[in-house]
Structures are given as C-alpha cells and as structure tokens.
Amino acid sequence: MKTSTDGLLSYASKLSGFCVCFLAIFLLTACSKAEQPKPEAEIQLNAVVPPQLSIDAVRFDTTGLTGVESAPNTKRWTSGRALEVSLRCIEVPPDIPCSLSNKEGIRDYFRRCAIQGGGGLVEADVIKIGQVPCAKTIVKVPQQPSGTAYVGSITIPLAQGSYIIRVQSVETGITGMRESAILHNLTASGKVTISEGGVLQNWECDPYDPKIKGDDLVLRNQSEDERYDKLFPTHPLTRVRVALKAILRTIKLDKSVLMAPPFLGP
C-alpha cells in the first residue's frame, strides 16, 4: 500500500495538535482599597493557576544539527536531507483519551493517529523523563512513488499543555534495500513463507495486537525490528531510533516542567 506525502503531513499535524479548545485563565483582582475577605472561589482559582509553558523549558543536545527555525512555540533543526528534528510547545490540554498508566490505551491512540494519517505504527511505549510520564512512538508513512518516511516522537503531556519532540527521516534514492535483504534471509530460512496466492505469511503484523489485520492497513514488517538497525546504519528508521536515544540521553526538563500539574487523562 502506498500513500502520498500528504499522509506524513496529516500525521504530523494530528500528532502535534494535541488540543480541542483554547484554555483561558482569568485572574480576579480586588477593586476596593478596604481590606475585605475574598470569595472562596477566587482564592482557589488563584491558588491553582499553573506556570506558563515555555519552549525553553525543554533542552537537549543538538550537536551536528543546524537550527532552521526559532519561534515562541517551535524550534526546528536539520542535518540536511537525512534528518529533521523539532520541538513544539502546545499551550492547551492534551486530547489523549486516557492516562499514560494505560499503556494499551496509549498504543491504541497513537495507532489510530497513524492510520488516520495514512501510516502505521512501528512502536509505541510509555517512558519517564525524570519522574514525568511520556510517550515515545515511531510511525511509518509510505511515500509516492516509492520509499517510506519514519516519524519518531517523544510526547511530554502535562495538565495544561504538551511538549512534543519529533524526529523525521525519509527514505530516498534506491529504496527498499533493508526490506529486500531481510525478506530474502527470512524466506530462505522458512521463517517467512509465500502462499499459493503470492501473499507473504508472517512478514507483516501490528507490533502489539496480532488480531489487527487488513489489506488497507500499513503494518510493521519484520525488517523494521530494532535488531537489524546495526546492519543498516543509514536507513531512515535507524536514524530515527538513534536520534531518539540521543535526545533521551541528554534531555533536561526545567523545574517548571518537573513541578507542573501532571496529565492524568481527560
């Protein structure tokens, strides 16, 4: 199955738009010079106003990357055509439909996001940065006329907003070499077979739910297993995984993020 680059843009828009409405916080102030007791509701409102999110509250090593955008809520870097990295600060509550303690629900959510963008889920997991629960995902989006784009993300959801780090690499030039090499080895060993109708057996499947099938779905194939990355160091999936690991090794969260009200679900 192949889709256009519109799928990648749709997925990126979906993944980076964790919002359903704009959050407005109105601070009440006293008008009278005389000291009068404040209403209880006002005291509670002022007491729970969270600190404003800042794009500078999340930092990681960008050695080897060139900055190409620096806006109030977005930073973007590139290493030429091989890799693009971005950081976005979304100042509205996440629209993730469950808490991050629900790993199955998180995987289902990002699977649906990938499908809606014309792609498929390669991996999705819940991790912690410090003590802050986060989601780490990789999706694949077929390109036209050939090749695949891989998008890795680290989503840091908070009660009042999110930080999203995205790493993207697109297969160019001669495509499909990793898939062809691994498929050849697996068919030769009998681990992947071909049916009488010419359909590959045991080649593609959802990474977490083998019951999810369909000719119209983009599914992870066996060549995308992480154990093959060392054999294909310049493959876009390998580049994305390496970049995500480097970011997680060097990422620093400001105290405003560490102390912010956590995302507990809708």
Q: With 70 as the cut, is the pLDDT of residue 22 above it?
A: no
- pLDDT for residue 80: 85
Q: With 50 as the cut, is the pLDDT of residue 148 above it?
A: yes
- pLDDT for residue 51: 64
Neighbouring residues of 210: CB distance < 8 A, sequence distance ≥ 6: none
- pLDDT for residue 42: 46
Indicate the range of 90-99, 176-185, 191-200 predicted with least confidence. Answer: 191-200
Classify domain 6-174+233-258 at the CATH superfamily level.
Mog1/PsbP, alpha/beta/alpha sandwich (3.40.1000.10)
Between residues 15 and 229, the one the model is more confident about: 229
- pLDDT for residue 156: 98
Q: With 90 as the cut, is the pLDDT of residue 7 above it?
A: no
In degrees and rounded to multiples of 5, residue 158 shows phi and psi of: -125, 170
The residue among 69, 40, 75 whose CA lies nearest residue 55 is 75
- pLDDT for residue 221: 97
**253 dihedral zone (left: phi>0; alpha: psi -120 to 50; beta):** beta
Q: With 60 as the cut, is the pLDDT of residue 37 above it?
A: no
pLDDT-based confidence at residue 14 (cuts at 50, 70, 90): very low
Query: What percent of the chain stands above pLDDT 90?
Result: 74
pLDDT-based confidence at residue 50 (cuts at 50, 70, 90): low
Q: With 70 as the cut, is the pLDDT of residue 45 above it?
A: no
pLDDT average, residue stretch 66-83:
95
Domain ranges of the chain: 6-174+233-258
- pLDDT for residue 49: 52
pLDDT average, residue stretch 74-94:
95
Between residues 117 and 18, the one the model is more confident about: 117
pLDDT-based confidence at residue 196 (cuts at 50, 70, 90): confident
Residue showing tokens 């030039």: 173
Neighbouring residues of 180: CB distance < 8 A, sequence distance ≥ 6: none
- pLDDT for residue 119: 97
Half-sphere exposure of 173 (CA within 13 A, CB side): 8
- List b or e across 12-38, with b for residues whose CB sees 16 or more CB atoms inside 10 angstroms: bebbbebeeeeeeeeeeeeeeeeeeee
Q: With 50 as the cut, is the pLDDT of residue 16 above it?
A: no
- Tell me the average pLDDT of the chain: 85
pLDDT average, residue stretch 177-197:
94
